[in-house]
Amino acid sequence: MTTRITIRKPDDWHLHVRDGAMLKAVMPFTARQFGRAILMPNLVPPVVTTKDAIAYRERVMAALPAGSTFKPLMTCYLTDETDPDDVEHGFKEGVFTAVKLYPAHATTYSAAGVTDHRKIMPVLERMEKIGMPFLMHGEDVDPEVDIFDREAMFIERYLSKWTRQFPALRFTLEHLSSKEGADFVRSTAPQVGGTITPYHLVLTRTDWLGWGLKPYMYCMPVIKTAKDRAALRKAATSGEACYFLGTDSAPHPVAKKLSVNGIPGVFNAPVAIETYAKVFEEEGALDKLEDFASVNGPRHYRLSVNETTITLEKSPWTPPQEIKVEGPDEKALIYRGGETIEWKVVSS
């Protein structure tokens, strides 16, 4: 039995670190185990221009522990009004790594997102031309569409058309949650890649809703069936280049999670690589963890892989249930907080 594993340092290709006191409280957890992370722009207000991203990057750098070599990769929040010239400028200046689509009202802090897909065509054309990646919250929020079908319907109505319309544009379907999503990525690779969260690999909707409502398992896209989870586990552990790590770690103040109108998002950064290691071990695929966590992502984004390494050991430990956050945010619930975590990062 393998009890120790060393891999190239992983990167997180989908992460929320927020701002202010929450940013300061959560940033060290990611910086501890990841070399780089694509930072989501759904702040309030969102990161919509190159100027916004430069300012946000400075706040992120200021929140890093002393001596950290972690590198934040910034994204542009796409709106109906996004200016293709500013997107190109931000990309060429090395500020923006990618553009992120939130369909309006699809998820947390997406109210400023895209309301009419026709309006974003000039931005996609420009991104295709300059070789800039396009990240998508791939859900169709038409009220006629059942919440469990949102991902499949987004693919059918939008993404399957865009991949033909923009053959040179590189897409990432974020936080894959369904068999349809995993299959679509495989069938369109390498044009389309997909990130997979630790919790979509572990949970089913029965875990979330079957024995009491577990608010810390509520996320968008929502957790689906055991069949979907099996497809995602197979995809992640296959080593195929189109699937890579994206935690979607999304901290929220406890009061916003435990509320009559609870907010979606799972804060998993404190146990991220440890949880992926558990899944890969269960699937007999620890030898594929490095591809998924550290190699496939950089290849998709045409970046070099990290040269340093991280070592994990089978050594049980228990994270706290929540972390303290200064000011009005007070505390944030940790995914798997209070549980026994099998793997531990022993050097990074």
- What residues make contact with ligand NCD under the rule CB under 6 A? 16, 42, 107-109, 137, 219-220, 248, 250, 264-265
Whichever of 126 and 252 has its CB closer to Zn ion, that residue is: 252
Concerning whether 248 is annotated as a catalytic residue, the answer is yes
Q: Using CB under 5 A, pick the residue from 12, 139, 140, 248 that binds Zn ion.
A: 248
Q: Could you say whether residue 88 binds Zn ion (CB under 5 A)?
A: no
108 binds, among Zn ion, ligand NCD, none (CB under 5 to 8 A by kind): ligand NCD
Phi/psi at 28 (nearest 5 deg)?
A: -60, -30
Pairing of strands 341-347, 309-317: antiparallel
Q: Could you say whether residue 240 binds Zn ion (CB under 5 A)?
A: no
Q: Round to the nearest angstrom and report the end-to-end CA distance of the chain.
A: 22
- Nearest-CB residue for ligand NCD: 265
DSSP for residue 45: S
What letter represents residue 287's amino acid? D
Residue 269 in tokens: 């950064």
Smallest gap, in angstroms, from Cβ of residue 193 to ligand NCD?
Answer: 16
Smallest gap, in angstroms, from Cβ of residue 175 to ligand NCD?
Answer: 6
Give CA separation, 169 vs 16, 88, 318, 339, in Å.
24, 14, 43, 42
What DSSP line would sit under 121-159, residue for residue?
A: HHHHHHHHHHT--EEE------TTS-GGGHHHHHIIIII
Smallest gap, in angstroms, from Cβ of residue 172 to ligand NCD?
Answer: 12
Residue 18 in tokens: 């927020």
Q: Could you say whether residue 281 binds Zn ion (CB under 5 A)?
A: no
Q: Could you say whether residue 151 binds Zn ion (CB under 5 A)?
A: no
Whichever of 123 and 141 has its CB closer to ligand NCD, that residue is: 141
User: Of the residues 11, 140, 248, 329, which is catalytic?
Assistant: 248
Peptide bond into 84 cis (omega under 30): no
Smallest gap, in angstroms, from Cβ of residue 16 to Zn ion?
Answer: 6
28 binds, among Zn ion, ligand NCD, none (CB under 5 to 8 A by kind): none
Tell me which residue has tokens 């090395």: 94
Q: Could you say whether residue 12 binds Zn ion (CB under 5 A)?
A: no
Give CA separation, 322 vs 55, 84, 267, in Å.
29, 41, 10
Q: What is the C-alpha separation between 229 and 200, in angstroms, rounded?
A: 6
Smallest gap, in angstroms, from Cβ of residue 305 to ligand NCD?
Answer: 25
220 binds, among Zn ion, ligand NCD, none (CB under 5 to 8 A by kind): ligand NCD
Whichever of 288 and 336 has its CB closer to ligand NCD, that residue is: 336
Find the part of the chain contacting Zn ion (CB under 5 A) among 26-34, 110-118, 208-216, 242-250: 242-250
The CA R_g of the chain, rounded to the nearest whole Å, is 19
Smallest gap, in angstroms, from Cβ of residue 16 to ligand NCD?
Answer: 5
Q: Could you say whether residue 139 binds Zn ion (CB under 5 A)?
A: no
Whichever of 107 and 275 has its CB closer to ligand NCD, that residue is: 107
137 binds, among ligand NCD, Zn ion, none (CB under 5 to 8 A by kind): ligand NCD
The enclosing H or E element of 100 equals strand 96-101
Neighbour order of strands in the sheet with 134-136: 12-15, 36-39, 71-77, 96-101, 134-136, 171-173, 192-196, 243-245
Whichever of 90 and 103 has its CB closer to ligand NCD, that residue is: 103
Whichever of 7 and 25 has its CB closer to Zn ion, that residue is: 25
The residues that are catalytic are 248
